[in-house]
Amino acid sequence: MPNQAVIDFIEKYDKFIITAHETPDGDALGSEYAMLLALRKLGKTARILNADPAPQKFAFVDPGQEFEVLMRKEQIPKDVGEYGMFILDVNDINNIGQVSTLILPRVKEYFIVDHHDSETVQLSKNHIEQNASSTCEILYLLFREMHLEIDLPIAQALYMGILYDTGSFIYPKTTAVTFKIAHDLVNLGVQPNQAYVSVYESNSISSLVLMSRVLATLELHYDNHVAVQTMTQDLLREAGAIYEESDLLINIPLRSGDVRVSVFFKENTEGVKRCSLRSKGNIDVAAIAQSLGGGGHKTAAGFKCVRPFEVMKVEILEMLHEYFNEQTSSTE
The type of residue at 289 is A
pLDDT for the residue 263: 98
| Candidates 3.30.9.10, 3.40.1190.20, 3.20.20.70, 3.90.1640.10; CATH matching 4-200 | 3.90.1640.10
Across 121-142, average pLDDT: 86
Share of the chain above pLDDT 70, in %: 95
**Residue-level pLDDT at 110:** 96
Per-residue pLDDT at 262: 98
- CATH of 205-323, picked from 3.10.310.30, 1.10.240.10, 3.40.720.10, 3.90.1410.10, is 3.10.310.30
Q: How high is the mean pLDDT of the chain?
A: 93
Q: Which residues have C-beta within 8 Å of that of residue 315, sequence separation ≥ 6?
A: 292
- How large is the average pLDDT for residues 190-194? 97
Record the pTM. 0.88
- pLDDT of residue 330 exceeding 60: no
Dihedral (CA of 149, 151, 157, 163) sign: positive
* Span 28-47, average pLDDT: 98
Query: pLDDT band at 331, cuts 50/70/90?
Result: very low
Tell me what pLDDT residue 123 has.
55
Write out the residue limits of the CATH 3.90.1640.10 domain(s) in the chain.
Answer: 4-200
E strand spans, the chain? 15-20, 45-50, 67-69, 84-88, 109-114, 126-128, 219-221, 226-231, 261-267, 273-279, 295-297, 300-304
- Strand 45-50 to 226-231 pairing: unpaired
CATH 3.10.310.30: which residues of the chain? 205-323
Going by pLDDT thresholds of 50, 70 and 90, the confidence category of residue 92 is confident
Assign 203 a pLDDT band (cuts: 50, 70, 90): confident
Q: What is the pLDDT of residues 242-293, one digit of tens each?
A: 998 898 899 999 999 999 999 999 999 999 999 999 999 889 999 999 999 9
